[in-house]
Amino acid sequence: MLRNAPKFYEVARRIVEITEGCILVAHNAQFDYRILSTEFRRLGFDFDRKSLCTVELAKELIPDLPSYSLGKLVRSLGIPVTDRHRASGDALATVKLFKLLLDKDTTKSIIQKSIQLNPKNKINAKHLNIIEQLPAVTGVYYMHKANGDIIYIGKSKNIKSRVNQHFTNTNSKSKKLQLQVADVTYQATGSELVALLKESEEIKRVKPTFNKALRRAIFTHALYVVKDENNYLNLKINLADGRKKAITTFSNAQSGKNFITRVNEDFKLCLKLTGLQKPKTSCFNYNIKKCNGACLKQESPEIYNKRVEELIDKYSYASKNMIIIDKGREVDERSAILIENGVFKGIGFFNLNYQITNRKVLESIITPMANNRDSQHIIQNYLRKNKRLKIITLD
């Protein structure tokens, strides 16, 4: 393989060009960097680059593994690899490992460390240059000061377009943000659901200066069920109350009303028992034969309640064990949102079904995230709006 390969001096200039202003990421980076430095020194040049080591990062973010060699590490994490011990195969495996480590790095220490390492990011670059480097993909973006501190976190289906809006808006908040932003980093998610969950959790954890308004709860109303004196299950949209168990939540009252109106038709429910009308006798739907007469006690509570329970089962994931499968960051990748006993556990990305059907591997690729009312609202709202999502039920 080496017989017809180019000599180092023939590719040295290209190596300088492609690594200019970059940070080298390698598995056991010290070894790779020492090889490069030695070869350049033989040519009479100093090769000076910053580096991040995926061995050190893996030990920090995934502790207590039996081995941190590249082969054993990617196998234990279910990362698909081809051409092991070849330059391209090992480099691609390191890329996939680094992406997983970025997902695991909830404190964003890797990103902040890389900004501090990279001298060009200390200069307050023109906004146009920042925008040019951003992709038009779905994900979460982080706006940093010159020292790497995060001052704003956002999510978008098109990161490039959204950041451009921040830099072109003329309101007072945008102008203040523009003065302080030195760099923008991002995390592609592919899935809008993953982006929403990441944005919500990281705003709560980091508490960026310019995200004050978004730290509060992102929903105001919820759907509750109560049994009336005649044993019929009544559905009601009320202000969200953390002391009560909600079926699902809504960003505002109108969103809740729209939902209850739609499911009223889907499940042939009674307008009176869902709070959409308050008639003294029968509801309007009974008169047009779209209600079976629960408002007049003509339909038994057992039969009516069965349809209400079907609705609850469809729109609430309480006590369920499941994985929500959504888009990934690459064509051959998918995202996984894990729910256990109705509790949101975290998110991960996978290339092979083996990674999510093998429980041990699944747990290793999932990045744990907080289960709170906001994350529950985000998931329930997304499930309502995206009915074609693939959902795998776990035993």
Q: 191 in a domain, yes or no?
A: yes
Verify that 297 and 363 share a domain, yes or no. Answer: no
Instruction: Dump pLDDT digits (tens) for 334-365.
Output: 999 999 999 999 999 998 888 888 888 898 89
State how far the Cα of 46 lies from the Cα of 37, in Å rounded to an integer: 7
Q: 13 in a domain, yes or no?
A: yes
Q: 1 in a domain, yes or no?
A: no
Last residue of a domain, one of 170, 199, 215: 215
Which of the four pLDDT bands, split at 50, 70 and 90, describes residue 122? very low
Instruction: Name the 3-class secondary structure at 125.
Output: coil
Verify that 126 and 184 share a domain, yes or no. Answer: yes
Domain boundaries, position 148: 117-215
Verify that 232 and 200 share a domain, yes or no. Answer: no
Q: 112 in a domain, yes or no?
A: no
Question: What does pLDDT average to over the chain?
Answer: 87
> What pLDDT, on a 0 to 100 scale, did the predictor assign at position 167?
87
Mean pLDDT of the region 170-188: 88
Verify that 306 and 331 share a domain, yes or no. Answer: no
> What pLDDT, on a 0 to 100 scale, did the predictor assign at position 322?
93
Verify that 28 and 99 share a domain, yes or no. Answer: yes
Verify that 134 and 87 share a domain, yes or no. Answer: no
> What pLDDT, on a 0 to 100 scale, did the predictor assign at position 115?
62
pLDDT of 131 > 80? The answer is yes
Last residue of a domain, one of 176, 195, 215: 215
Order of strands across the sheet that contains 150-156: 150-156, 139-144, 183-188
Question: Largest alpha-carbon pair distance within the chain?
Answer: 95
Last residue of a domain, one of 163, 194, 215: 215
> What pLDDT, on a 0 to 100 scale, did the predictor assign at position 126?
66
Verify that 202 and 232 share a domain, yes or no. Answer: no
Q: How far is CA 43 from CA 46, 49, 251, 264, 395, in A?
A: 9, 17, 64, 77, 62
HSE-up of residue 281 (Cα within 13 Å, Cβ side): 2
Verify that 231 and 309 share a domain, yes or no. Answer: yes
State how far the Cα of 325 lies from the Cα of 335, in Å rounded to an integer: 6
Q: How many domains does the chain have?
A: 4
Verify that 129 and 209 share a domain, yes or no. Answer: yes
Strand boundaries in 207-329, DSSP class E: 221-227, 233-239, 248-250, 322-327
> Chain-centre distance of CA 196, in angstroms?
6
Q: 307 in a domain, yes or no?
A: yes
Which of the four pLDDT bands, split at 50, 70 and 90, describes residue 216? low
User: What is the residue whose two structure tokens read 């932003």?
Assistant: 181
State how far the Cα of 277 lies from the Cα of 290, in Å rounded to an integer: 14
Q: 139 in a domain, yes or no?
A: yes
Instruction: Dump pLDDT digits (tens) for 242-271.
Output: 788 888 988 888 989 999 999 998 899 999
Q: 277 in a domain, yes or no?
A: yes
37: nearest Cα among 16, 60, 7: 16
> Chain-centre distance of CA 176, in angstroms?
28
350: nearest Cα among 371, 364, 339, 369: 364
State how far the Cα of 381 lies from the Cα of 378, in Å rounded to an integer: 5
Order of strands across the sheet that contains 390-393: 367-368, 343-350, 334-340, 322-327, 390-393
Q: 52 in a domain, yes or no?
A: yes
pLDDT of 304 > 90? The answer is yes
pLDDT of 123 > 50? The answer is no
> What pLDDT, on a 0 to 100 scale, did the predictor assign at position 199?
94
Verify that 170 and 137 share a domain, yes or no. Answer: yes
State how far the Cα of 279 lies from the Cα of 295, in Å rounded to an integer: 9
Which of the four pLDDT bands, split at 50, 70 and 90, describes residue 86? confident
Verify that 246 and 205 share a domain, yes or no. Answer: no
> What pLDDT, on a 0 to 100 scale, did the predictor assign at position 395?
74
Classify residue 308 by its DSSP letter.
H
Q: How far is CA 229 from CA 85, 226, 232, 277, 391, in A?
A: 72, 10, 8, 18, 37
Mean pLDDT of the region 318-322: 87
The pair of structure tokens assigned to 66 is 């039996």
Which of the four pLDDT bands, split at 50, 70 and 90, describes residue 191? very high
Verify that 200 and 262 share a domain, yes or no. Answer: no
Judging by beta carbons within 10 Å of its beta carbon (0-12, 13-18, 19+), is residue 378 exposed, middle or buried? buried
State how far the Cα of 209 lies from the Cα of 203, in Å rounded to an integer: 10
Judging by beta carbons within 10 Å of its beta carbon (0-12, 13-18, 19+), is residue 352 exposed, middle or buried? middle
Judging by beta carbons within 10 Å of its beta carbon (0-12, 13-18, 19+), is residue 58 exposed, middle or buried? buried
> Chain-centre distance of CA 324, in angstroms?
12
> What pLDDT, on a 0 to 100 scale, did the predictor assign at position 113?
73
Alpha-carbon Rg of the chain, whole angstroms? 27
Looking up residue 26, the CATH number of its domain turns out to be 3.30.420.10
pLDDT of 2 > 80? The answer is yes
> What pLDDT, on a 0 to 100 scale, did the predictor assign at position 378?
92
Instruction: Dump pLDDT digits (tens) for 15-61.
Output: 999 998 888 899 988 888 888 988 998 888 888 888 888 988 888 88
